[in-house]
């Protein structure tokens, strides 16, 4: 049994290229249906590849994949990483991201669903923006909730997404202020927490169709022996209804910390100026004196072949899938990238043939 996290290889889709089972799994992972693997445990802030060796063949298989030279990247003393790239199209626009290497897999039993709930609370009051003021400000500069302002929570990461105009420097700076508030300035007022319970529970209720019922029976088989089988990001309704306010504040304190965060900025701007803005804002974030270990959640091997036969009166299709597990592959060298391309081509051709 490997000590590393296991990976579920893309299943063979028989009878249909897009299966009902695959469709049920995809929303939980935020990935295409063909990729039935849990997200990588260290997805939030990938380390930059080592510098290229001088000389040599650019396509030598043992050569490390270089970072795009147009990307300005760095790591602050508090551990936060940043990635900045100028991109002129579309004009006068920037995409900003705060990536947090923390999701539902890190929840304690008393916190199931609170990684996702914390994401909701980031829009309900921060150090600079009280309650509804954040959404009101962004809508006031022409942004729309959804296309330009959004976030998601998965098993292993939480990502906040913001698009802002760059024709006024002050607006771009304000956008980075918002990312800084999300990083360590969410207020979690008790009244706002209680108001949001109904919103999150309704989201949970809206997902309780055939796909969720199938998923409830399949995940304990697919991820047998792993926290992935019992830590769906939407959480447990019993916890969402009654958790004490301090539980969600504790989750935020434990995991929203600079060594588990990255800032990404891409857009029509001066990258040198944006780097200065990022460093001036995020260097002040403080890591905890005694940080909790950021655990991984391995999916263990098993000797026997596991199977799951699931029926539901509301399923509209019949499907069969086969999946098998292996250790995750490295993605650091030209050879690693070549192997990933070959795998992708293989599964695309196999699925096309079976279809």
Kindly give, in sequence order, each residue whose CB lies less than 8 Å from that of residue 167, ignoring residues fewer than 6 positions away: 92
* Cα gap 29→234, rounded to integer Å: 12
Query: Active site residue: 95, 173, 189, 196, which one?
Result: 196
Report the C-alpha gap between 49 and 3 in whole angstroms: 24
Choosing from 107, 119, 157, 236, which is the catalytic residue?
Answer: 119
Handedness of CA 126, 128, 132, 138 (dihedral sign): negative
Please give the Cα distance from 42 to 39 (Å, whole number).
9
Listing from the earlier edge strand, what are the strands of the sheet with 261-267?
72-75, 81-86, 261-267, 93-100, 158-165, 149-153
Residues 6+ apart with CB under 8 A from 94: 163, 164, 165, 166, 172, 175, 265, 266, 267, 268, 269
Query: β-strands 81-86, 261-267: how paired?
Result: parallel
| Rounded CA separation 350/91 (Å) | 41
180 is annotated as an active-site residue? no
CA angle 21, 37, 43 (to 5 degrees): 140
Tell me whether residue 192 is one of the annotated catalytic residues.
no
* Active-site amino acid positions: 119, 196
């Amino acid at each position: 049994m490997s000590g590393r996290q296991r990976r579920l290889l893309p299943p063979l889709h028989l009878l249909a290229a897009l299966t009902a089972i695959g469709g049920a799994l995809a929303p939980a992972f935020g990935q295409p249906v063909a990729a039935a693997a849990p997200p990588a445990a260290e997805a939030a802030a990938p380390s930059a590849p080592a510098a290229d060796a001088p000389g040599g063949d650019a396509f030598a298989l043992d050569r490390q994949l270089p970072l795009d030279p147009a990307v300005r990247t760095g790591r602050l003393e508090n551990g936060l990483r940043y990635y900045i790239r100028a991109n002129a199209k579309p004009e006068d626009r920037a995409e900003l991201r705060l990536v947090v290497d923390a999701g539902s897999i890190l929840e304690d039993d008393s916190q199931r669903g609170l990684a996702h709930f914390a994401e909701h609370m980031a829009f309900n009051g921060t150090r600079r923006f009280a309650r509804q003021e954040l959404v009101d400000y962004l809508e006031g500069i022409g942004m729309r909730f959804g296309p330009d302002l959004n976030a998601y929570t998965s098993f292993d990461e939480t990502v906040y997404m913001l698009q802002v105009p760059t024709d006024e420097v002050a607006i771009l700076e304000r956008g980075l202020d918002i990312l800084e508030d999300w990083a360590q300035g969410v207020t979690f007022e008790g009244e706002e927490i209680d108001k949001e319970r109904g919103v999150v529970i309704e989201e949970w209720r809206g997902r309780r169709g055939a796909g969720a019922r199938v998923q409830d029976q399949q995940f304990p088989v697919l991820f047998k022996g792993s926290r992935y089988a019992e830590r769906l990001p939407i959480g447990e309704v019993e916890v969402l209804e009654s958790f004490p306010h301090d539980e969600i504040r504790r989750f935020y304190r434990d995991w929203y910390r600079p060594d588990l965060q990255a800032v990404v900025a891409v857009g029509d701007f001066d990258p040198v100026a944006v780097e200065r803005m990022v460093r001036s804002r995020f260097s002040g974030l403080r890591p905890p004196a005694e940080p909790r270990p950021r655990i991984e959640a391995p999916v263990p091997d098993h000797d026997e072949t596991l199977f799951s036969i699931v029926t539901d009166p509301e399923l509209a299709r019949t499907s069969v899938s086969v999946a098998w597990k292996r250790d995750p592959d490295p993605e650091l060298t030209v050879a690693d990238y070549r192997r990933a391309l070959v795998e992708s081509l293989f599964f695309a051709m196999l699925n096309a043939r079976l279809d």
